């Protein structure tokens, strides 16, 4: 973004096979200006252990607490969030 002089991202789609948690943490920590975020939670159907649903729920709550609103859920694994306090 910096190299290209961009201040924000209109749409970011994350389908990164389990690495979504760390990327979401970074997005929140760095307060990246992303307007729409699409996330595939890989563990929704490919659970690593019995804590998968808890990890997904915690990730969603962190996004919610950071100003994101869920606007769509598809097949319980693909979530679309919109930043409500841009």
* pLDDT recorded at residue 49: 83
* pLDDT recorded at residue 45: 79
Q: How many domains does the chain have?
A: 1
Range 34-44 average pLDDT: 92
Specify the pTM: 0.87
Count Cβ neighbours within 10 Å for each residue of 6-44 and write b for 16 or more, e otherwise: eeeeeeeeeeeeeebbeebeebbeeeeebeebebbbbbb
Segment holding 11, helix H or strand E: strand 9-14
- Whether residue 3 is contained in a domain is answered as no
- Whether residue 21 is contained in a domain is answered as yes
- Whether residue 4 is contained in a domain is answered as no
* pLDDT recorded at residue 50: 87
Is pLDDT larger for residue 37 or for residue 2?
37
- Whether residue 1 is contained in a domain is answered as no
* Coil, helix or strand at residue 22: helix
Residue 72 structural domain: 9-83
Digit-coded pLDDT (tens) for 44-83: 877 778 888 999 999 999 999 999 999 999 988 899 999 9
* pLDDT recorded at residue 14: 94
- Tell me the pLDDT band of 86, cut-offs 50, 70 and 90: low
């Amino acid at each position: 973004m910096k190299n290209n002089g961009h201040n924000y991202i209109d749409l970011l789609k994350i389908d990164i096979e389990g690495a979504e948690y760390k990327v979401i943490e970074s997005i929140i920590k760095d307060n990246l200006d992303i307007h729409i975020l699409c996330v595939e939670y890989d563990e929704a159907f490919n659970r690593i252990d019995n804590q998968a649903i808890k990890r997904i729920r915690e990730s969603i709550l962190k996004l919610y607490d950071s100003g994101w609103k869920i606007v769509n859920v598809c097949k319980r694994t693909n979530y679309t969030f919109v930043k409500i306090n841009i």
